Amino acid sequence: MTVLVAYNDSPQGSAAFEAAVEEAQRRNVGLTTLVLTPQPDDAPVPSALSALIAKHGQEVEIAFRSSSIDVADAILDHSDRVQAELIVLGSRKRTPVGKFLMGSTTQRVLLDSSAPVLVVKSDSAP
């Protein structure tokens, strides 16, 4: 079993990674980071992600998937592949109207995932 975090190079991605590390340690399970990129076969690990990994000293499996596919589908598919016991997603702060309307990727993962989903806000403004 593992905790799966969907990472992108943003304050939201960093907040999600930080929360995923805590959850993986608390649950005593592995941590898998999913990175969507245009060229998954030749993709380097994003420098911000490398810094987060070094900061925590956590062993992390990194999976690259093509950014040309639907993000929610990629997250859900990879969650099934690694038998994730938790999916962690980052979310940005929203206006009052934006709070009513959730992002479509987050909404699809919340509704369609067989694993629990933790949505984490970053402290940064959008």
- Res 74 pLDDT > 70: yes
In contact, 72 and 104? CB cutoff 8 Å: yes
* CATH number, domain 2-121: 3.40.50.620
Query: How much is the pLDDT for 21?
Result: 98
The pTM for the full model equals: 0.88
> 68: how many CB neighbours lie within 10 A of its CB?
10
- At residue 86 the predicted structure's pLDDT band, cuts being 50, 70 and 90, is very high
Alpha helices in the chain (DSSP H): 11-27, 47-56, 71-82, 96-100, 104-112
- Res 2 pLDDT > 60: yes
Q: Where are the domains of the chain?
A: 2-121
Query: How much is the pLDDT for 98?
Result: 55
pLDDT tens-digit map of 17-67 = 999 999 999 999 999 999 999 888 888 999 999 999 999 988 999 999 998
Residue 59's alpha-carbon distances to 10, 31, 56, in angstroms, are: 21, 7, 9
